[in-house]
Amino acid sequence: EVQLVESGGGPVKPGGSLRLSCEASGFTFRSYAMNWVRQAPGKGLEWVSAISGSSSDRHYADSVRGRFTISRDNAENSLYLQMNSLRAEDTAVYYCVRVLGGPPAAAGAGWFDPWGQGTLVTVSS
């Protein structure tokens, strides 16, 4: 069974840092681009970041560029999101997603399946 399990969320003060992890199983992890998508409480979905299977391509939403860093460890079947200089508006459930299909030249762009269960990040003083 293809599965994604996130961890690392929790409360953090504005300006603080947090590292999210996503453990993948049931598929050849290194063969797939992976993304992070977030959802603020009661709001819609927002794409955050993407990374290619080899880590050669990484992309970020304007709202997090320069503060967040996406990475992966293919030997450990794990995806990460290092979040620095956190703001109240970063409060959200963060989902790890596998990328399928999409434009061949655009690593990380495609449809998302499956989604992890999400991990909640709360930025508040």
Partner 1 sequence: EIVLTQSPGTLSLSPGERATLSCRASQSVSNNYLAWYQQKPGQAPRLLIYGASRRATGIPDRFSGSGSGTDFSLTISRLEPEDFAVYYCQQYDSSITFGPGTKVDIK
Of these, 92, 110, 121, 123, which contacts partner 1 (CB under 8 A)?
A: 110
Q: CB 42 → partner 1: shortest distance, Å?
A: 11
Q: What is the DSSP string of 3-22?
A: EEEEE--EEE-TT--EEEEE
* Bond prior to 103 in cis (omega within 30° of 0): no
Residues within window 61-100 making contact with partner 1, judged by CB under 8 A: 95, 100
From residue 18, alpha-carbon distances to 31, 47, 90, 118, 119 in Å are: 27, 18, 11, 15, 12
Q: Which is nearer to partner 1, 3 or 17 (CB)?
A: 3
40 binds partner 1 (CB under 8 A): no
46 binds partner 1 (CB under 8 A): yes
| Tokens (6 digits) for 41 | 């409480």
Q: CB 59 → partner 1: shortest distance, Å?
A: 7
Strand partners, 97: 35, 115
Of these, 45, 55, 58, 71, which contacts partner 1 (CB under 8 A)?
A: 45
119 binds partner 1 (CB under 8 A): no
